[in-house]
Each structure stands twice: as C-alpha cells, then as structure tokens.
Amino acid sequence: TLPDKFETIKGRAFWYMSKLTRLNIGGTVTVASSAFLNDNVLSEVNLRTDLNRLQRIGEGAFDRISARSITLPDSVTTVEKEAFARNSALTEFHLGASTRSIGDFALGDDSNLAVLSVSPANRDFFVDSGVLYENIAQGRRLIMSVPTNSASEFTVPAGTTEIGSWAFNNNTALRRVVL
C-alpha cells in the first residue's frame, strides 16, 4: 500500500516481482512504463477510485499480471499501449469519465475479457455489445471487440470510419465482418 499523497511509480519499479499479489497505489498520479511488468501473481489491483488522483498509465505498466477486474478512476486521462496486455485472468475492465487516449493493444491478448464498460460521463469512448468505440472527428473508431464475443459475424455500424489495430484479436468465433 502506497501513501495517499504518493505521486509517481517510475518505470520498472516493481517488475518481475514473483510474490507481489496485492497492490494499492495510494495517491499515485503516474504509473510509468513497465512498472509492474511480469508480476504474474499480482491478482488484486486497487487504483484508488476514491482518491481519483491517477492520471496516466504508462506503456506496459500492468502487462502480464493476473488481476480479474480493473476499474480506472475517473481521473485517468491516458492509458498507453500494452498497459494491461497479456492478462489472461482479466474478465472485467472499466474506463473512467476522463479517459481521452487508449494506446494500441492496451487490452491486447486479455483472452478472457468479457465485460468492458465506460463511465456514462466519458465523451470520448463508449461500449456497444462488447465493442469499444472512440468518438473521433471523422466519426468513430472501433477500438476492440471483447475476445469472449461468440458472434460469428460482425456488421460494422454506420458512422465507423476506422478499425483499430488488433480490434478483433482473439475473437476466435468470428468468421465474417461486414463493412
């Protein structure tokens, strides 16, 4: 447990910690790149939604952990690429109200992700039927479909102007995409 007035967890600060099972980030504002990389027994992550101070989650910060559920505080604005990637235990993920940027593969290879939600107050991202979208100037970008989606066919909704990298990663039932 880190103090409520804590500011920054630097890159690789806790990586490859084979016995770290629980984390309370306290008042951390920034979790830098690879801070908890390969902490594969880290199963409880409390990002302190009650303090609402966390703003940035760096590249690969929580790559290869084993948390089942992650809730981003409303204060988080940036989630960099691979931030929560390769977490096969992850089944639920929630984006807060202030998230404005999500990097490629941020939830990549989270093969058991089934529930993806976004704060109703978030004006940039939304979820429809397990698919995460980002509102962009030209329309909307399809960010990702949860890998547990069992649909064999997907029709890209009108107004979608981009499909992101890795958008249908691990959607093993998918056989056809209608544009």
Specify the pLDDT at position 51.
97
Residue 136, pLDDT score:
97
Number of neighbouring beta carbons within 10 Å of residue 5? 10
pLDDT per position as a tens digit, 84-117: 999 999 999 999 999 999 999 999 999 999 999 9
Measured in whole angstroms, how far is the alpha carbon of residue 11 from the centre of its chain?
18
Which residues, including other chains, have CB under 8 Å from residue 115's CB and lie 6 or more apart? Answer: 91, 92, 93, 146
Given this model, what pLDDT does residue 179 score? Answer: 93
pTM metric for this prediction: 0.96
The pLDDT tens digits of the residues spanning 33-48 come to 999 999 999 999 999 9
